[in-house]
Structure 1
C-alpha cells in the first residue's frame, strides 16, 4: 500500500471560524487548523493578534492530499470565501489581522496562486482590483483550543456570526448569483 503524500496550504480570509468549514468538508482534507501567521510576534494570543500589533493574520493551515484535492482547487475554494478586493479586512472584521492572503509553501503554490489572481482579474467578476496578498508561508501558530473547529463546537453561534458578518450574502451575490 502506498503512503499518502500530504501537503500544507495556508490561507487568510478574515475570521478563521468562517474559513474552516468550507475546506474541512472537502474530500482529501486531512486537517484544518485555525491560527495566526505572517507576523513578527512568537506564540501570539488571540487578543494580541486582534490588537493589530503582531503583524499576524488570522489564518487556516490545511493538511491535504493533493492526489484527491489538488492545490488549485483549494485556491478556488479560498477565493469563493473572500472578498479579494478588500485589503482592509473581510466583511465586518476590519484591520490587518483580517486581511486576505495566500501563504505559499513552495514555488508551485506561488505560481498557482498568481495564476488564479490573473484569471480572476481577467474574468471581470469584480470591478475593483484583486488585492489578496501572495506571500511566503512563515511560522504558523495554532490558535487557542476554543477556536478550533468552532463551526462544530458551537454551531448556533457560528451560524449566527457568519450570517451577521455579511460573508454569506457576499458569496451569494458574487459567486453564486
Structure 2
C-alpha cells in the first residue's frame, strides 16, 4: 500500500473523486502542511496554523498508479488560483501536492509541467509540490461528508463554483 496526499480546497469535494476508484483503499479528510499538532477545523480555518485542508489516500499501486491519482486531482481544482479554491478563500484552501518520496516528487513535477504546457488553462499553474508533513485526521463529521450529507454537499459544490469550473475545463463525467 502507498499514500498520496492532495490539498484541493474544501476536502468535502476531494473525497468522492478518489473514493470509488479501483485500487483506492481509503480516503481520509484532514489537515497538513502546518506546525500545530492535531489542529481543529476552527484553528485551520483561522489561517493561523499553516495547515491546508487535504485528503490522504491509501492506495494499491499495483492497481492504480500515482500518475492516475494526480490526473484525478488536477481535474478537481483550479490550479491557477493562489488565493484558495472557488468561494473558499485563504491559506487553508490553497492547493498543494504533498509527496511522500522522490518518485512521487518527480512524477508530480512532470505532471505539473505537462499541465502547464498542454492543459486547458490560460494562467500558470501555482499548485505547490511539497514534502509530506504530518497529516491529522479531521473531525469525524467531516469524513465522507459527500455521502453523509449528500444534499448539502451537492448544493455546496454547485454554489461554490467548483462544479461549473470542472465542467467548463474538463467536460462532463470527470468528477463525482
TM-score where L is the length of structure 1 = 0.96
Deviations 1:11-67 (CA, angstroms, capped at 9, x unpaired): 000000000000001110000000000001111000000000000000000000011
Deviation larger for 10-19 or 116-125: 116-125
Q: Which residue, out of 147, 162, 167, partners 2:162?
A: 167
Q: Is structure 2 residue 19 aligned with structure 1 residue 24?
A: yes
- Residue ranges of structure 1 left out of the alignment (5+ in a row): 1-5
Aligned-pair CA distance for 1:125: 1.7
Report the aligned-residue RMSD.
0.8
Distance in structure 2 (CA, Å) of the matches to 1:78 and 1:19: 8
Distance in structure 1 (CA, Å) of the matches to 2:67 and 2:119: 20
Q: Could you list the runs of 4 or more consecutive aligned residues of structure 1 that deviate by over 4 angstroms after TM superposition?
A: none
**What's the counterpart of residue 10 of structure 2?**
15
- Residue ranges of structure 2 left out of the alignment (5+ in a row): none
Distance in structure 2 (CA, Å) of the matches to 1:46 and 1:89: 16
Distance in structure 2 (CA, Å) of the matches to 1:40 and 1:168: 32
Distance in structure 2 (CA, Å) of the matches to 1:155 and 1:142: 21
Q: Which residue, out of 144, 151, 155, partners 2:146?
A: 151
Aligned length: 172
Distance in structure 2 (CA, Å) of the matches to 1:86 and 1:25: 27
Q: Which residue, out of 93, 96, 101, partners 1:98?
A: 93
**What's the counterpart of residue 61 of structure 2?**
66
